[in-house]
Structures are given as C-alpha cells and as structure tokens.
C-alpha cells in the first residue's frame, strides 16, 4: 500500500511502514509543510493495525534529513519560531511515544533536526557514509526538537556537551562508538538490514512491545522507585492478553508461539 505525499514517500510492505523523506534537492530538510506531512504519516501508521513497525529513511544518496529548513527559519519572529519548534518537537515526541517500534535507517547526513528525528526512533542504523551532528550553536541557537534532552540520555552528558557546544559533525563509526547508533552498514545494505530487523520486531507480541516502550520512556523521567512501579504496572497489564497466555504455553510445550496480537 502506498499513500501520496508531496515531501515524503509512504508505503507499507510486509507489515512495515517505510517513510522516506523526499526533498533530495534540499537534502531532505524539514520545512513546515514537510513536518505536517511527517506527522500525518506517523498518525497513518499508528492507526493502521496492519503496521507493526516503522522505518524512516531519506531519498537520494546524500541525506537522511539535513535538519530544519534554515531559509524558512531565518526570518521568523519569536512567536513564529515557537510555533515551528513546537511542531517539530511535538512530531518527534509523537514518534517516540508511538506504541510501535521504529527504526531510523540513516543513509546520509543527519544534522540538527535530522539527528533529533533519528534519536526519537527506538533504534538507529546508519550507513558508513552517514554523518550526525547538532550544529545549531553555529547558527546562534540551540536544538529545539529534543536534541538537548535525548542526546545526553543516549550518550551521556559529557559527550553530549562536546557535540552540542561545538556543533561538530561525527561519522557513523564515531556515532556507533558513543552509543548513538546501534549498527553500521555499507550503503547498499542499510535498508535491507533495517527491513530484516523490522520484520523481526513485527513478529513480536505487539501489546508487550507497547508496554515495553511505555515502561522505558516513562521510567527515564522518574526516580527509580517510581520507575519500577511503572514497570510493575506494565508487566501486569501483559497478563490480560492472549499473547501472554500463548507465549507461556508455547514455552512449556517447547514450541514456537503463534502470536494473536492481543
């Protein structure tokens, strides 16, 4: 199934929604129109019971997302900048809290908002020619779509400050070494690697995946006692599902489970 958008491509293949940012002439930079379409695509995937996992990638060979559209940003008033920033931040948060797993297949430069979109995904794969960075400081601003919050949580405060304060770009290998990226592929193998992993996730019990994300992301913002209570509540909810019953029966009977998705 395919859905038409102006600035991105959306297709569903084997239960995987593939969202491809498609402004290659602008290195897939995100303007207001692109962000609104991206949010609409995420809502489409989130509301489709056939979609079990998402992959985000970029069109062309140069860029995943080169960031926000600076030509659009530079003349904004503080009020207009607030609306634009809230749109980008809210879209990334929606992606992060979507009850379905998401994979960023970073095929080229992911700068500013591009890195922030990738960080809002659950898993990040990158090609060998990918580059990451939060260069907002070099424009006299700071990240506004979650970069100052997700980057320290992913790679630690010290490394995050190094990248945020200098605006320097890093290679995919460096991103892997810091923990920003899960795996690195050759350019020709990136999307297939992401699809293979997405198929694996799509074959997992969906409600348990939802509870897993709820526990992890909510717990990160709590003290340990509160976070552990969230974990307890999430696991207990799993005991209301057919998949929990099937998974445990399959384990006892030494067979592969047949998930029912509920």
Q: Please state, in angstroms and as integers, the Cα–Cα distance from residue 138 to each residue in 114, 166, 176, following that order.
A: 16, 8, 24
Phi and psi angles of residue 62, each rounded to the nearest 5 degrees, phi first: -100, -30
Does 40 qualify as catalytic in the annotation? no
Q: Position of tokens 């999430």?
A: 234
Decide: 18 and 197 in contact? Cβ < 8 Å: no
Alpha helices in 24-98 (DSSP H): 32-46, 70-73, 78-97
User: Out of 40, 86, 116, 253, which one is annotated catalytic?
Assistant: 116
Closest to 73 (Cα-Cα) out of 136, 156, 9: 136
Cα separation of 226 and 216, whole Å?
A: 12
User: Out of 86, 136, 192, 231, which one is annotated catalytic?
Assistant: 136
Does 246 qualify as catalytic in the annotation? no
Cα separation of 175 and 191, whole Å?
A: 18
DSSP state of 222: S
Residue 65: half-sphere exposure toward Cβ, Cα within 13 Å = 29
Decide: 132 and 150 in contact? Cβ < 8 Å: no
Would you say the C-alpha torsion 151, 109, 2, 192 has a positive or negative sign?
negative
Residue 230 has a CB neighbour count (10 Å cut-off) of 18
Cα separation of 171 and 180, whole Å?
A: 11
Partners of 21 in beta bridges: 8, 58
Where in the sequence numbering do the catalytic residues fall?
A: 116, 136
């Amino acid at each position: 199934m395919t859905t038409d958008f102006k600035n991105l491509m959306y297709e569903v293949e084997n239960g995987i929604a593939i969202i491809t940012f498609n402004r290659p002439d602008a290195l897939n930079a995100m303007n207001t129109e692109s962000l609104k379409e991206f949010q609409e695509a995420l809502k489409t995937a989130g509301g489709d019971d056939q979609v079990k996992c998402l992959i985000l990638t970029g069109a062309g060979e140069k860029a995943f997302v080169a960031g926000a559209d600076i030509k659009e940003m530079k003349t904004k008033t503080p009020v207009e900048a607030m609306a634009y920033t809230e749109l980008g931040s809210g879209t990334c948060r929606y992606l992060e809290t979507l009850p379905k797993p998401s994979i960023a297949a970073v095929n080229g430069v992911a700068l500013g908002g591009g890195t922030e979109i990738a960080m809002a995904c659950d898993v990040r794969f990158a090609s060998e020619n990918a580059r990451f960075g939060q260069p907002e400081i070099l424009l006299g601003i700071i990240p506004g779509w979650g970069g100052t919050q997700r980057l320290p949580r992913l790679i630690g405060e010290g490394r995050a400050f190094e990248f945020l304060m200098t605006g320097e770009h890093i290679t995919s290998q460096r991103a892997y070494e810091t923990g920003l990226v899960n795996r690195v592929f050759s350019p020709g193998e990136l999307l297939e690697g992401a699809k293979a992993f997405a198929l694996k996730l799509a074959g997992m019990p969906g409600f348990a995946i939802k509870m897993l994300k709820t526990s992890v992301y909510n717990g990160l913002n709590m003290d340990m006692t509160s976070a552990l209570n969230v974990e307890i509540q999430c696991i207990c909810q799993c005991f209301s599902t057919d998949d929990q019953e099937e998974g445990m029966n399959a384990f006892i009977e030494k067979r592969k489970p047949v998930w029912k998705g509920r």
